[in-house]
Chain A
């Protein structure tokens, strides 16, 4: 460690002339401003164009409120379920040897590699009027498609990998030594999980939950297909933004969009804080997103 700065001075692999360095930095900054900062600013300036009063008012319209409520509901169901699933899957994958493990890991990644629209369409095929399941469930009065359950299912599918992806490398890196130690000291399986495994992964888990939640609230494609966009009933925030926009209600659209952007910013800040504070523990997880 101590030798590094010295070695860097002697033969730095990035010893470009000053103007090249500045040109590259400038290009990076311009690019970032153009594609990240500008759109973000646009969202907020559009939202506030007619003053703070109109902004607050448009957020209090029944449609906007119902969209916010639905989005929170969907996230409140989908995120915990994916947390349970993610912990279970990564526990199985990291701590046990079994046949078909590689296949399971690939399967977990599936939602990342499939277009969200396809994910939505799969549910339409499964539960639509032409399917076997749909009419059967309907005869018992259970609506999946164009209702909240369908939106929840599609969201779970799309956000499925976030927690598991985060935990698998972390748990694999930690190995089974701590668990074996706990068992040898007389702890039961549950005690080992709650007192040893979970504390070891808590920061990685929180990180996964953050990403999972951001995606659950922001998902558009899959949800658009299954929701049917029934105003005030099955429109989540992203869908409602699009609706407002198509109806030329600029302020309403951007006000709602600004909430989503705010969510993204809060997620980013928390994520950076986690990385800064617990970088060592998170380092084991290969950053993929």
Chain B
């Protein structure tokens, strides 16, 4: 089921949470709404679910205008950050809930409900735990029950709100891989909210990066990572270093020195962004050069903070961990790839 969000605005007590957001979600894709807290990503998810009403704008499920429909009528599967499992029901009862509350005319017979619930528990690898209660399960298991419960109603769209937010790092990684597998097997259109860029990059077909109630960029993980269209996205996705520079006569200048990178036609102050690992060390003057202010080991490389020139500019670059540079050593480098944004 494709979902179209059209010029949606949402205010809470006159405080805008979303400004004029539009987003087309392709049928069968796994898309991440990614952003810092307060960016409006959860609000957008809840609007799609029908748990909130938009102040303005429309939401379409396929060709059908779902804007005025209640959450029940939208037939979505929603997985909550804190699972929201019914604590007085067994796992089996939790998973069957959505089928049991259907009106008699569309409710499957009890045996059929039970069979399907057990099948779903098998899908989420929880067979044998159907008689337990939610408080007898671990966090990761609860999250899988929540997913099985949402899948039981055969939703048109699957919505997940920070699905792994409350889990520890190890379980998170496992569940991530597992969610990807489930998605490939069931083919549901899936939208999930996360503030964890690593999770979004690894899991999603497309990212929708949000900030302050607006969509900053939508695209595949590669395109968002390699060509961010705004300073925010560059800073938010992946590691980045930023320098305040000047563009004059086709060159980029830091203070009174050209840094050896050609710029376009734009003139005037600009912000230069590059990735710390995407640099090459060079000899000579026509480069960014500075002295090592601090360094620390990050995985297989060394992250070095350089102080450039006298103006106190500081940037981070990555060096091989066996690079001989010590405190106060002088290092010259050039970004291999970079991006300029007008200041």
Contact = CB atoms under 8 A, between A and B. Distances in A.
Interface of A: 177-178, 180-188, 191, 195-196, 199-200
A186 B84 contact: no
Interface in B72-109: 72, 75-78, 80, 82, 84-88, 97-98, 101-102
A187 B84 contact: no
B46 to A, nearest CB: 9
A178 B86 contact: yes
A182 B80 contact: no
Contacts of B85: 181
Contacts, number: 59
B153 interface: yes
Contacts of B98: 185-187
Contacts of A178: 84, 86
B71 to A, nearest CB: 5
Given A183-B71, A187-B72, A177 B82 contact: yes
Given A177-B80, A177-B82, A180-B80, A185 B153 contact: yes
B8 interface: no
Residue among A177, A185, A186, A187 with max Cβ neighbours from chain B (10 Å): A185
Interface of B: 49, 51, 70-72, 75-78, 80, 82, 84-88, 97-98, 101-102, 149-150, 152-153
Contacts of A181: 78, 80, 84-86, 149
A180 B101 contact: no
A185 B87 contact: no
Contacts of A183: 51, 70-72
Contacts of A199: 86, 88
25 contacts: A177-B82, A178-B86, A180-B51, A180-B80, A181-B84, A181-B86, A183-B51, A183-B70, A183-B71, A183-B72, A184-B49, A184-B72, A184-B76, A185-B149, A185-B152, A185-B153, A186-B72, A186-B75, A187-B98, A188-B72, A188-B101, A195-B86, A195-B101, A199-B88, A200-B88
Given A186-B98, A195-B101, 11 more contacts: A180-B84, A181-B84, A183-B70, A184-B51, A184-B150, A185-B149, A186-B72, A186-B75, A186-B101, A187-B97, A191-B101
A188 B84 CA distance: 17
